Amino acid sequence: MKTVSVLGLGYIGLPAAAMFAANGANVIGVDVNQHAIETINQGKIHIVDPFLEDIVRDAVAKGTLRATNTPEKADAFVIAVPTPVKGDHVPDTSYIEAVAKNIAPVLEKGNTIILESTSPVGTTEAMIEWLEAARPDLKFPHEGQEGHDIYVAYCPERVLPGQVVKELVENDRIIGGITEDCSEKAIEVYRIFVKADLIKTNARTAEMSKLTENAFRDVNIAFANELSLISDELDINVWELISLANRHPRVNILQPGPGVGGHCIAVDPWFIVNKTPELAKLTRLAREVNEGKPEWVINKVNEAVATFAASNNKAITDVRVVCYGLAFKPNIDDLRESPALLITEKLAKLYPGQVSAVEPNIDEKHPVLEKHGLTLKLYEESQNIADVMVVLVDHKEFIEIPLTANNKQIVVDTKGIW
């Protein structure tokens, strides 16, 4: 039985660890989050995924999956830690560097290291340099050089939150080995559970392919968001407009929203801009459009608050705002880079004690709520307290039972569902 160590047990790492364990591997999950470690070792999960908990419970019960905070020896190491941006949209690869230094002491000849974290071009090669510095007794691969003790590849994930388990198995994977035999070793690892095609390329192309996929989506979302701004200015219903335009057989415009969130689309295009700032003009502009959308939404809410106060002879400090949705996309609990959360946080600062939130996928103990002084309300009761209703995420609960504003309430619907 092959032993696989998965480093980083978040939204990508934990499902990957579970799938390795469910398909015959002995899996050691490593994370710095003690709560996550304890939860997983109880056969439970600390994230929302409709299909994951049963798999984790079964794997833990069988002894094929366990979590710890210290790297151990393994045949393969799969790195799935965050790669955020810092300062002026500068990529932060410090988590990858820390993992490389942490696994270095337990590496042995013949091991395979696979980096899954979305990364700037050249990160896999940088990781090799960090490993070489920590383990000069081992020979690491370099393109064009023969003979090495360790196999290294970059293999990005392509999964949709809420459908991660299914897509991990069914989606094609890009296998970017530093050398040809590194690609072959990585393929051996993923063949444990992946049923789709495993396509070989080099590490740099694999890194850029993931960034390209997310930048493509960001540009298309930016076009939809820009259309929403233009349509508002021209008094046009943007959802009707897009529906009509999409009747063209070769047009498929996406839906606008309050911005773009998640750890991928909201972050990855900046990795391209950072590497080639003079060339990535469209990529940068799309990011700027999407990052500017939350402020536009806040302005719309401010207008609604002022209108409600004036129409009902109330002080602005008496107007109650309810924000529907905090996650970055529907039907998940993931708040990373969420424009809905950003908007709600800013509104809570503008209107202290007046803002409540409805988020079906988290509970009232979530640390974000306490941090920003937000009160979580049940969907059914929220309409009774709302003067201004702000739709930020199209969760299934909001679509299946849409709320209808009374004659006084004002709705700011950024998703076009009510």
Residue 181: closest CA among 141, 139, 154, 208: 141
Sequence-ordered alpha helix ranges (H) in 332-395: 339-350, 367-371, 379-385
Q: Which amino acid, 397?
A: E
Measured CA to CA, the distance from residue 400 to residue 412 in angstroms comes to: 18
- Is residue 86 within 8 Å of residue 47, measured between CB atoms? no
Measured CA to CA, the distance from residue 72 to residue 371 in angstroms comes to: 36
Annotation says 377 is catalytic: no
Phi-psi region of 158 (alpha: psi -120 to 50; beta: other; left: phi over 0): beta
CB count in 10 Å sphere of residue 181? 14
- Exposed, middle or buried, 201 (CB in 10 Å: 0-12/13-18/19+)? middle
- Is residue 340 within 8 Å of residue 327, measured between CB atoms? yes
- DSSP for 204-244, please give it: HHHHHHHHHHHHHHHHHHHHHHHHHHHHHHTT--HHHHHHH
Q: Which of 264, 323, 329, 377 is catalytic?
A: 264
Annotation says 155 is catalytic: no
Q: Which of 210, 293, 300, 377 is catalytic?
A: 210
Element at 275 (helix H, strand E): helix 268-275
Beta bridge partners of 202: 177
CA angle (175 as vertex; 169, 176 as ends), nearest 5? 155
Alpha-carbon Rg for the chain, nearest whole angstrom, is: 23
Element at 399 (helix H, strand E): helix 396-400
Query: Which residues carry out catalysis?
Result: 210, 264
